[in-house]
Structure 1
Amino acid sequence: MTESIAPSANPASDAAAAPKRRRIHPGVVAIVAGLVLLLVLALTPSPYVIREPGPVANALGTAGPAGEEQEVISISGAQTYPENAGELTVMTVSVVGNPEYQLNWLELAGAWFNPTSDVLPMELYYPIGVSKEQRDEETAAMMTSSQDTSVAAALSYLGYDVKTQVVVAQVPEGSPATDKLMVGDVVLAYDEKPIQSLADVQQVELTTEPVAVRIRRDGEEKVVSVTPKPAEDGQGNRRPLLGILVQEKHDFPIDVHISLADVGGPSAGLVFALATIDKLEPGSLTGGKSVAVTGAIAPDGTVTPIGGVRQKIYAASDNGADYFIAPEANCGEALSGGSAPRNMTVYAVADLSEAVDVLKGNAAGDTEGLRTCVDALADGVQQVQ
């Protein structure tokens, strides 16, 4: 017997018996998508680094691990004067990220919205093929060179006789000077033109004809013939080059030793020069004030621009500095977008003498005639890009 089932007389009860179809709320979808995006950002490496304010140190004081502190600048062979209550602060920046540890996009997100930090392409600090170890070695060498240069500038400012030599620092294999010039050779003349500084080297006219290079090696002078070859000069131009690296070495009449670990690059040159002068002159350059200083320096006292000045101004403000001294060419960055702390006066300097005037003027309470970065920008001083 076949049994038939008649349609239900109550459609509503059938609907209640069937499973309900749940609708996913759009908000849940957005949350899930956001979590997935965060996961992707947290796992994906980026080609950027973060530049942020770094530690500071007093060039007139001591530094080092607890119990092992030593004077940042110690001098022998000349009269020095007691440390005063003021500070000449060495400003630094920290670069987070490197080819071996690439920051992910999530780590960068906070820095993009942090006014004290910059997000920059990694290649600015680590060109292709340059490792963290290689860059550390390079910045350490730049720091050592800047220390010598700062002492040369300071002692020359004080009237000491500082002798400068141009020395061969590197002869790459395959360069035109291979087997002719050696590391340590003192370059005395190029094509009969005396060489006494890097400025002299930069002014020589290179050709593709053989030239006579007079050197001193192991105490003896000799002349070698080198034929420059056209090559990339590092700025995208092809010009005749000897293919060597040279550096200045200075013969100081007194011993000035600078010791500051874990700081690299040339940007402390100006503050080291000012601190050296302060130690060798009676009285106090700072007048008891806390002064933050940055800028590279040449042996003749010319102050040149550096990187990360905005981060250094923030660090100076946090450290309680009374004012800030910066290279005039950095003023655009220092005041860009109103990013610098409003309570920080930033003075612009072109050379060591002007920086000393800024210190002396502020110490005496007479700042008339001293240039601030606002003045430098108004005067149209050329800025670094």
Structure 2
Amino acid sequence: MPKTPGSELGDYGDVENSSEVGRARRRSRGSLLIAAAACALLLAAVIPSPYTIERPGPVVNTLGDVQIEGETKPVISIPDAETFPTDGALNLLTVSLVGSPERPASWLSLVPALFDPSQRIAPRTDFYPEGSSLKDREAQGTVQMQSSQAQAAAAAFRQLGEPVTAELAIAAVTADGPADGVLREGDVLQRVNGEPIADFAELRAAIVESGAEHELRITVLRDDAEVNLTLRPAVPEGGKDPLIGAIITTYYELPAEVDISLSEIGGPSAGMMFALGIIDQLTPGAMLDGKAVSGTGTVSDTGAIGAIGGLEQKIWAAKRAESDLFLMPLDNCGDLPARLPGGLTVAPVATLSEAVAAIEDTVAGKEVAGVERCSVADQ
């Protein structure tokens, strides 16, 4: 039957309606996809992950001032000694952690760190062992910071040829350890196997030399009287060297009091920069000559520079601080990233003397021994 004009209009209308339905369905599917993506994004933003982000933290010039409770204070002050003007910057570097047991990082917050070479994502247990809290980590960091400041002052004065004496005391005794029931908190160590002990390094050497399960003779000062004691060091499970099962703290008698004011920063890794700051203040002339030197590393009271964590993040912090020189521990050579920021001179050092020499060479325009030292150290 031939179609009438009316039926032809109806056919065209059906085609148009079908197109509209298709567009509506596509819009509906698009809306569903957007809604699903929004839900996924929302969930990623609120669901906690088991990871922590390690990133560059605050940079503090040890020759400058800080604000503490609304009051401006020098980071390092030596009120009882003659000090000299300084210039330039000796920056201590820190890392910040995002993601604690109490406030875990969300999955979404991890995304930017995937594309930023200055940030590192690691299991939260790398920073917070099972059962520990942010408060525990901060308390430990505070103790380590206080110890590093005392060791830095001792190392600095010794670097300058000044006399420093050390006194080793028992801070705590490990339950069921070799020293349990023998040593007491507050005992001051005098001699081990009849030999005077000048510092912690000598104590460790004496314990290791004595060996596990062999009798160790220790003389302590207790209640103003010398007491002779004996114990047998033991190798802890998973350890290599014998220990006596006690926490030792060191008190230093310095030529002058050193006050270090720094809040909300913990850990031992600022030791080298504190020591350099003390040396600069006590030394006539401009050690830095306007240069900006950044660095990180523990320091022993004898001037040995030790390894730290977060090296890569601190390298980037040094670059962003426009440092002329970055000092790092030689012991951290294995942690150097494959790619270093351009234009930054990196100098691995093993001692405080080497750190001072690297600064002097930089100021004099001489070539500084750089990361090539790591290859030699590895060999």
Fold-level similarity (TM above 0.5): yes
How far apart are the structure 2 equivalents of 1:231 and 1:279? 43
Shift of residue 143, structure 1, vs aligned partner:
0.5
How far apart are the structure 2 equivalents of 1:289 and 1:44? 46
- Does 1:42 find its partner at 2:39? no
Count of aligned pairs: 362
Matches within 5 A, 1:246-265: 246-265=248-267
Shift of residue 207, structure 1, vs aligned partner:
3.0
SS for the counterpart of 1:291 is strand
Equivalent position of 2:297 in the other structure: 295
Equivalent position of 1:129 in the other structure: 131
Deviations 1:235-289 (A, max 9, x none): x238754321113221112111111111111111111111111111100111111
Q: Is contact 2:307-2:330 (8 Å) kept?
A: yes
The amino acid that maps onto 1:77 is D
Task: Note closer, same or farther for the CA distance 1:225–1:330 as it changes in structure 2 (3 Å cut).
Answer: closer
SS for the counterpart of 1:358 is helix
Equivalent position of 1:59 in the other structure: 62
Shift of residue 137, structure 1, vs aligned partner:
0.6
How far apart are the structure 2 equivalents of 1:124 and 1:118? 12
Equivalent position of 1:226 in the other structure: 231
How far apart are the structure 1 equivalents of 2:65 and 2:242? 47
How far apart are the structure 2 equivalents of 1:381 and 1:209? 35
Task: Note closer, same or farther for the CA distance 1:217–1:122 as it changes in structure 2 (3 Å cut).
Answer: same
The amino acid that maps onto 1:376 is R
- Does 1:208 find its partner at 2:206? no
Equivalent position of 1:372 in the other structure: 370
Equivalent position of 2:377 in the other structure: 381
Matches within 5 A, 1:298-337: 298-334=300-336, 336-337=337-338
How far apart are the structure 1 equivalents of 2:82 and 2:74? 16
Root-mean-square deviation (CA, aligned residues, Å) is 2.7
SS for the counterpart of 1:337 is coil
- Does 1:359 find its partner at 2:359? yes
Deviations 1:79-132 (A, max 9, x none): 2112x2211111111111111111111111111211111111111211111111
Shift of residue 166, structure 1, vs aligned partner:
2.0
Structure 1, 302-311 or 176-185: larger mean CA deviation: 176-185
SS for the counterpart of 2:378 is coil
| Long gaps (5+) in structure 1 | 1-9
Structure 1, 22-31 or 57-66: larger mean CA deviation: 22-31
Shift of residue 174, structure 1, vs aligned partner:
3.7
Shift of residue 65, structure 1, vs aligned partner:
4.3
- Does 1:342 find its partner at 2:339? no
Equivalent position of 1:243 in the other structure: 245
How far apart are the structure 1 equivalents of 2:322 and 2:234? 53
Shift of residue 220, structure 1, vs aligned partner:
1.9
Task: Note closer, same or farther for the CA distance 1:20–1:294 as it changes in structure 2 (3 Å cut).
Answer: closer
Q: Is contact 1:287-1:364 (8 Å) kept?
A: no
Task: Note closer, same or farther for the CA distance 1:189–1:337 as it changes in structure 2 (3 Å cut).
Answer: same
How far apart are the structure 1 equivalents of 2:331 and 2:201? 20
Task: Note closer, same or farther for the CA distance 1:315–1:229 as it changes in structure 2 (3 Å cut).
Answer: closer
Which of 284, 287, 293 aligns to 1:285? It is: 287
Equivalent position of 1:4 in the other structure: none
The amino acid that maps onto 1:276 is I
Shift of residue 304, structure 1, vs aligned partner:
1.2
Q: Give the TM-score normalised by structure 1.
A: 0.85
Equivalent position of 2:4 in the other structure: none
Q: Is contact 1:230-1:238 (8 Å) kept?
A: yes
Structure with higher helix content: 2
Shift of residue 218, structure 1, vs aligned partner:
3.0
Q: Give the TM-score normalised by structure 2.
A: 0.86
Shift of residue 20, structure 1, vs aligned partner:
6.5
Shift of residue 202, structure 1, vs aligned partner:
2.4
Shift of residue 209, structure 1, vs aligned partner:
5.2
Give aligned-pair identity as a percent: 36
Shift of residue 32, structure 1, vs aligned partner:
4.6
Task: Note closer, same or farther for the CA distance 1:160–1:218 as it changes in structure 2 (3 Å cut).
Answer: farther
The amino acid that maps onto 2:256 is I
SS for the counterpart of 2:341 is coil
Equivalent position of 1:269 in the other structure: 271
SS for the counterpart of 1:69 is strand
Q: Is contact 2:68-2:263 (8 Å) kept?
A: no
The amino acid that maps onto 1:37 is A
Task: Note closer, same or farther for the CA distance 1:291–1:225 as it changes in structure 2 (3 Å cut).
Answer: same
How far apart are the structure 2 equivalents of 1:303 and 1:295? 6
Structure 1, 183-192 or 136-145: larger mean CA deviation: 183-192
Equivalent position of 2:147 in the other structure: 145
How far apart are the structure 2 equivalents of 1:361 and 1:240? 42
SS for the counterpart of 2:40 is helix
How far apart are the structure 1 equivalents of 2:331 and 2:240? 28
Shift of residue 47, structure 1, vs aligned partner:
1.4
Task: Note closer, same or farther for the CA distance 1:342–1:20 as it changes in structure 2 (3 Å cut).
Answer: closer
Deviations 1:139-181 (A, max 9, x none): 1100000011111111111111111222212113443433432
Q: Is contact 1:287-1:362 (8 Å) kept?
A: no
The amino acid that maps onto 1:46 is S
Which of 162, 165, 168 aligns to 2:167? It is: 165
